[in-house]
């Protein structure tokens, strides 16, 4: 049985709890949320994971979970994941885009080494991460990611300063540049770009185009990779989470799969 603590109880966290509430091999003992959201989180957790306690931090008195999984956003990595790694607690991270912050990836690695443990970066809304990482070993020259989402998915982002999202009548490029800049400017939308870059050529050598497209209802991800290994193209059309159109539902499923791989007798 896998004893899990989770950071976050928003759209992703609740989706994970919902899908795993009947899994006897995964037990949630603690859900970590900010002080101001504890009452709301307790209501959700009492229904979806009644054995779990809600708190603002993982303290020494909580014991040592088998795993800490982050589903809370970029700030959670510094506040919760780094200290847990230093205590030797293995962690999973959803908010891979946070690693665009200079030095954060190195701090995570150093904390994991000090704690003698490991941090796993989850694939989230994109596939073929295993193929891309293998291609890097064989010789990878170019990775181009194009992300296409409905205009509403770009609300409350820098895209609103570039275009009138409500008036778009066709696909419109709202960003073109490196994965590092994409993840910095669009942290809730560009985790995919950061994940691809960390598996492949890095944040500064991975090219990214982001589009607001009134003609799509899904989050469309397209990846092109070329190099000595050969080449591949991947297109994925992910349904957005009903509770958060900035996030693909596949992100929730990737967390559930990763936890299942830790807890179940067979891993794939």
Strands 53-55 and 26-32: parallel
d(CA 95, CA 73): 6
Residue 191 annotated as lining a ligand binding site: yes
Please confirm, yes or no, whether 221 is among the known catalytic residues. yes
Intra-chain end-to-end CA distance of the chain, in Å: 18
For residue 220, the cross-strand partners are: 148, 237
* Strand ranges of the sheet holding 219-227, from the earlier edge strand across to the other edge: 172-178, 207-212, 142-149, 219-227, 230-238
Instruction: Classify residue 230 as exposed, middle or buried by CB count within 10 Å of its CB (0-12, 13-18, 19+).
Output: exposed
Residue 219 annotated as lining a ligand binding site: no
- Can you list the positions of beta strands (E) in the chain? 2-7, 26-32, 53-55, 67-70, 91-93, 119-121, 142-149, 172-178, 207-212, 219-227, 230-238, 240-241, 244-248
d(CA 14, CA 45): 8
From the candidates 3, 74, 80, 221, give the one annotated as an active-site residue. Answer: 221
The first and second tokens of residue 33, run together, are 């949320």
For residue 175, the cross-strand partners are: 210
**Which phi and psi (to 5°) does residue 166 adopt?**
-75, -15
The residues that are catalytic are: 221
List, as residue ranges, the binding site: 125, 191
List, as residue ranges, the binding site for NAD(+): 125, 191
């Amino acid at each position: 049985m896998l004893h899990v603590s989770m950071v976050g109880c928003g759209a992703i966290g609740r989706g994970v709890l919902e899908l795993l509430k009947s899994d006897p091999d995964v037990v949630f003992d603690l859900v970590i949320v900010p002080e101001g959201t504890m009452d709301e989180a307790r209501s959700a957790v009492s229904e979806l994971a009644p054995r779990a306690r809600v708190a603002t931090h993982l303290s020494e008195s909580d014991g040592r979970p088998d795993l800490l999984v982050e589903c809370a956003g970029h700030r959670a990595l510094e506040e919760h994941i780094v200290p847990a790694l230093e205590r030797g607690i293995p962690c999973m991270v959803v908010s891979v885009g946070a690693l665009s912050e200079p030095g954060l990836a190195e701090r995570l690695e150093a904390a994991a080494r000090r704690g003698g443990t490991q941090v796993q970066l989850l694939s989230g809304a994109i596939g073929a991460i295993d193929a891309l990482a293998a291609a890097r070993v064989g010789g990878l020259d170019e990775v181009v990611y194009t992300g296409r989402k409905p205009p509403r998915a770009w609300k409350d982002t820098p895209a609103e300063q570039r275009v009138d999202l409500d008036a778009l009548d066709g696909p419109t490029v709202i960003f073109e540049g490196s994965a590092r800049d994409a993840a910095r400017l669009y942290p809730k939308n560009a985790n995919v770009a950061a994940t691809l870059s960390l598996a492949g050529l890095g944040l500064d050598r991975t090219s990214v185009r982001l589009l607001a497209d009134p003609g799509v209802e899904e989050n469309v991800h397209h990846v092109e990779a070329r190099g000595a290994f050969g080449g591949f193209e991947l297109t994925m059309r992910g349904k957005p989470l009903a509770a958060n159109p900035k996030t693909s539902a596949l992100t929730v499923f990737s967390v559930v799969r990763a936890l299942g791989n830790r807890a179940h007798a067979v891993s794939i």
